[in-house]
Structure 1
Amino acid sequence: MSTAETDQRTQEGLLALGLRQPPANIEAEQALLGALLTNNRAYDRVSDFLAGEHFANKVNGQIFDAIARRIEAGQLADPVTMRAEFEHSGILQSMGGLAYLAKLLTSMVGIINAGDYGRAIHDAWIRRQLIDIGETVVNNAFGVEGGLSGPNQIEAGEEALFRLATEKGKEGDFVPFHRALAGAIDVAALAFKSEGHVTGLTSGLRDLDKKTGGLHPSDLLILAGRPAMGKTALATKIAFSAARALLTEAEENGGKPKGSVAIFSLEMSAEQLATRILSEQAEVSGERIRRGDIGQKEFDRFVRVSHELARLPLVIDDTPAISLSAMRTRCRRLKRTQGLSLVVVDYLQLMRPSVGTRPESRVLEISMITQGLKAIAKELEVPVMALSQLSRQVESREDKRPMLSDLRESGSIEQDADAVMFVFRDEYYLQQRMPKETAFDSTDKYSAAMDDWQRKMSLVHNKAELILEKQRHGPTGTINLFFEGEYTRFADLDTMHDH
């Protein structure tokens, strides 16, 4: 085939595409309207998913909305009661006046088919939306809308598809109480049978699991703290423990892990995060690893542990300033391909809202991000743990323990979260208050101050507090943890327990 023939066929194909009519089912629209005007009970079959905007014929959509308004106001909507409204508004004028009303009544087949008509109308609307999204994607790719890079165009397209799928593509419905009750009993039975009464995914911290029952699907958990408190180290510990639990369960059952743990590290690179986990598990200081200041024995242990860790169902995405829509897409893909059991975000103030949105203020932007993270948790039915910075007002208080009001842009974070936890290390602040000899006019006073400081330091050395300030489904309170600064490692504080 010659180049000229190929070009001609391409042009004919494009012309044929341009001549194709958007999907529509005008007969179904007319039949449904006729059914509604004949018997208003037909409205109950379509009211939970259908709206006037879904009709391909604009006039049919306006008629539907007018009928719906009367029915929802508890009034009768039939040809007699609607006639005055239609004449006054002029809705039917472009369709031939009241004669169109008579045509709608003759189009009615029966109200028993109303639900099928409604779904046919809605399906055609979804197809038209897909065509619009496709045209926008194509036009953006050709550069019609400037200012969007290729990756941003992908995110915008994915966001539009996600919005269509979640907001309009699915029908909501009531869950019968007996079904909800059965689910609640299953959860209670699982808690009763499981050791330690942990129904969710383990955090690797015994006392935290006791208070929360583990990490539960659909929950948004906020882990907050000031810099140097160990937020990332604690989140990494929880992510690692969850991944190890998934691997152990798979090995016991002789299969593959049923899910994976995803860490979105917006501040640290994947290599830095991996080094932290290696340092903790191999008990080799991360600083010494970076300097190469390790002996052969330590290096061998390092390699052995790295081989063990490589089997963990743990993935890291270190895209800086990742957008909410990109994160959602990657989580959905991971759930589909490998399974997904936990998402950790470090940290939410570094995220961007979905592509195409321009929040008016930083507070509104954070609100959109927290709402989006909660939506990811609910849609994918996984716990999402998001780290958050605290405002500097903590530093100005005598008692540096954080409170809910210390959360930056706290209103939306506190509102959307199912649990809010603060990590606090008194040792960090006390270390900064070490007495200086020059501040005292005598050696005795300096010695007394130093003794008092050392006594206080001994009480908080290697200790951390995890303050569970909010928990929607359980008790709050403070959990004491062991913290080893050399390996930035958190663990249970066993001195608090009887053996």
Structure 2
Amino acid sequence: MSIPEPLDDPWADTGPSDRLPVSRQRRGEGRDRGEQHERGRESGGWEGGSPGFERVPPQDLDAEQSVLGGMLLSKDAIADVVEIIKGHDFYRPAHETVYQAILDLYAKGEPADPITVAAELVKRGEITKVGGAPYLHTLVQSVPTAANASYYAEIVHERAVLRRLVEAGTKITQMGYAADGDVDDIVNSAQAEIYAVTEQRTSEDYLPLGDIMEGALDEIEAIGSRSGEMTGVPTGFTDLDALTNGLHPGQMVVIAARPAMGKSTLALDFARACSIKSNLPSVIFSLEMGRNEIAMRLLSAEARVALHHMRSGTMTDEDWTRLARRMPDVSAAPLYIDDSPNLSMMEIRAKCRRLKQRNDLKLVVIDYLQLMQSGGSKRAESRQQEVSDMSRNLKLLAKELQLPVIALSQLNRGPEQRTDKKPMVSDLRESGSIEQDADMVILLHREDAYEKESPRAGEADLIVAKHRNGPTATITVAFQGHYSRFVDMAQT
């Protein structure tokens, strides 16, 4: 269905390439006209018309007009459409102007019809941009019912995604030809461009404080309405969850300890709480243990079957019964394990993006930081610089994918040189930037690792030494090494 446009339409398309990047519009300058024509046909850069014109970007003006017409007819249609498209999804700027006026009236609880929208646009001085008030009536007359507004909105949204894909492809092509910088950095930037398309993000990520405050207040109200219910990804430890309210999107959490303290075990406990207990997708990148060893530890912790019984083949009938009872829940958990050797930062980033897109990933665990490789073709000046770069990239990954990233890290020999053996943040090995990048640093300490006859045998301290969004504290938990797990003291 094609809708006639006003005769003096001030926003009619000026040409098939009027919304393409300038670099795309001018491609081919300086070539012989015949050469441009032949290359254009071969590459699919344009179809028909005069040589030098590019293809019209993906769009459906009929669908855009039908969406607006439905919104002008029904308040329910507005509520449906606003969940599907944003203003920048419209191909024509004037359609975005009309859309925004409708939403503003709707937000104020006022009716949004051709009369009120025209009055709003007159008040803003934008009525001429949309071809005048008669065009708003034309939009309504073109739609027999508002019932299909959401269907038309899906079409508009799909065309917008395709336009962003074209734009991303153009940027990636330019990156490849420019060859400016490290190859791995270019590949990562290209992946980020494609990810941004699927996440429907725009390049204008800055917002005025007024808009941000509204979202912040909404979040505060939502938290209050939960009556103390945890808002983040649970850790599985009551006191730690009470202190942190769970692990939150964008956070980088560092678990650090000396060797053989139980860093990997604690990280697996966090992953179990996320995926097995709460059914939230998580991934473990293990550069130290193999996938079978991880699976055995998970089963030992969940079924309460001694790990050494599994490894030695001395499981009892009761052990097998416990294992069979927990196996279905463990197997069904959305927990992913990657034990690929020599994983680079770029590979981890690419895999996390894919899991986020396909499975709505909620937690990333990396075991452990000092075993990772930067993966860049340019060698870092030092190992300290390399670890610093990886730490910073993990923080950026947490922020980009809006999920918590747990990175395990070794401590230097500092604790062993002190009388009480307790670790400090300054003991973080190979890089001071780990402390700077981390939103939370949890130092794991067990007295019985140094003194076998310690009165605190079987206890472990989770020292929350840094907590960007809350208080610090030391939380005591029980270490059940035979089951390869830590638990709340109350469960012992």
For 2:319 and 2:195, the matched residues in 1 are separated by: 51
CA contact (8 A) 2:168 2:194 kept: no
**1:379-394 to 2 correspondences below 5 Å:** 379-394=400-415
Q: Which residue of 2 aligns with 1:131?
A: 173
CA contact (8 A) 1:264 1:344 kept: yes
CA contact (8 A) 1:200 1:214 kept: yes
- Report the 3-state secondary structure (helix = DSSP H, G, I; strand = E; otherwise coil) of the residue aligned with 2:436: helix
User: Is residue 332 of structure 2 the alignment partner of residue 339 of structure 1?
Assistant: no
**1:187-226 to 2 correspondences below 5 Å:** 187-194=219-226, 196-226=228-258
User: Is residue 191 of structure 2 the alignment partner of residue 162 of structure 1?
Assistant: yes
Deviations 1:432-451 (A, max 9, x none): xxxxxxxxxxxxxxxxxxxx
For 2:463 and 2:488, the matched residues in 1 are separated by: 14
Gaps of 5+ in 2: 1-34, 47-51, 55-128, 130-163
- Report the 3-state secondary structure (helix = DSSP H, G, I; strand = E; otherwise coil) of the residue aligned with 1:490: strand
User: Is residue 454 of structure 2 the alignment partner of residue 463 of structure 1?
Assistant: no
CA contact (8 A) 1:246 1:313 kept: no
| Aligned mate of 1:489, from 470, 476, 485 | 485
CA positional deviation for 1:188? 2.6
Q: Which residue of 1 aligns with 2:259?
A: 227
| Aligned mate of 2:305, from 284, 303, 312 | 284
Deviations 1:51-70 (A, max 9, x none): xxxxxxxxxxxxxxxxxxxx
Tell me the amino acid that sits aligned with residue 326 of structure 2. Answer: V
- Report the 3-state secondary structure (helix = DSSP H, G, I; strand = E; otherwise coil) of the residue aligned with 2:451: helix
Tell me the amino acid that sits aligned with residue 484 of structure 1. Answer: Q
The verdict on how the C-alpha distance between 1:291 and 1:221 changes in structure 2, with shifts beyond 3 A counting, is same
CA positional deviation for 1:124? 9.6
| Aligned mate of 1:371, from 364, 387, 392 | 392
After superposing the two structures, state which structure 1 stretch, 174-183 or 297-306, moved more. Answer: 174-183
CA positional deviation for 1:402? 0.6
- Report the 3-state secondary structure (helix = DSSP H, G, I; strand = E; otherwise coil) of the residue aligned with 2:207: coil
For 2:296 and 2:166, the matched residues in 1 are separated by: 53
- Taking structure 1 as the reference length, the TM-score comes to 0.61
CA positional deviation for 1:305? 1.4
Tell me the amino acid that sits aligned with residue 468 of structure 2. Answer: R
The verdict on how the C-alpha distance between 1:310 and 1:164 changes in structure 2, with shifts beyond 3 A counting, is closer
CA contact (8 A) 2:414 2:423 kept: no
CA positional deviation for 1:358? 2.2
CA positional deviation for 1:125? 8.8
Q: Which residue of 2 aligns with 1:328?
A: 349
For 2:305 and 2:236, the matched residues in 1 are separated by: 20
The verdict on how the C-alpha distance between 1:202 and 1:361 changes in structure 2, with shifts beyond 3 A counting, is same
Deviations 1:352-382 (A, max 9, x none): 1143342111111011101111111011000
The percentage of counterpart residues that share the same residue type is 38
CA contact (8 A) 1:266 1:350 kept: yes
Deviations 1:239-270 (A, max 9, x none): 110113432xxxxxxxxxxx511111110011
**1:309-320 to 2 correspondences below 5 Å:** 309-320=330-341
Structure with the higher helix share, 1 or 2: 1
For 1:405 and 1:379, the matched residues in 2 are separated by: 28
For 2:345 and 2:408, the matched residues in 1 are separated by: 15
**1:16-415 to 2 correspondences below 5 Å:** 16=39, 129-131=171-173, 158-162=187-191, 171-194=203-226, 196-247=228-279, 259-415=280-436
Tell me the amino acid that sits aligned with residue 412 of structure 2. Answer: S
- Report the 3-state secondary structure (helix = DSSP H, G, I; strand = E; otherwise coil) of the residue aligned with 2:250: coil
- Taking structure 2 as the reference length, the TM-score comes to 0.62
- Report the 3-state secondary structure (helix = DSSP H, G, I; strand = E; otherwise coil) of the residue aligned with 1:320: coil
- Report the 3-state secondary structure (helix = DSSP H, G, I; strand = E; otherwise coil) of the residue aligned with 1:482: strand
Q: Which residue of 1 aligns with 2:141?
A: none
For 1:18 and 1:180, the matched residues in 2 are separated by: 47
- Report the 3-state secondary structure (helix = DSSP H, G, I; strand = E; otherwise coil) of the residue aligned with 1:399: coil
- Report the 3-state secondary structure (helix = DSSP H, G, I; strand = E; otherwise coil) of the residue aligned with 1:395: helix
After superposing the two structures, state which structure 1 stretch, 193-202 or 329-338, moved more. Answer: 193-202
CA contact (8 A) 2:257 2:411 kept: yes
- Report the 3-state secondary structure (helix = DSSP H, G, I; strand = E; otherwise coil) of the residue aligned with 2:288: coil
For 1:18 and 1:402, the matched residues in 2 are separated by: 67
CA contact (8 A) 1:353 1:369 kept: yes
CA contact (8 A) 2:276 2:329 kept: no
Tell me the amino acid that sits aligned with residue 336 of structure 1. Answer: Q
The verdict on how the C-alpha distance between 1:124 and 1:464 changes in structure 2, with shifts beyond 3 A counting, is closer
- Report the 3-state secondary structure (helix = DSSP H, G, I; strand = E; otherwise coil) of the residue aligned with 1:479: strand
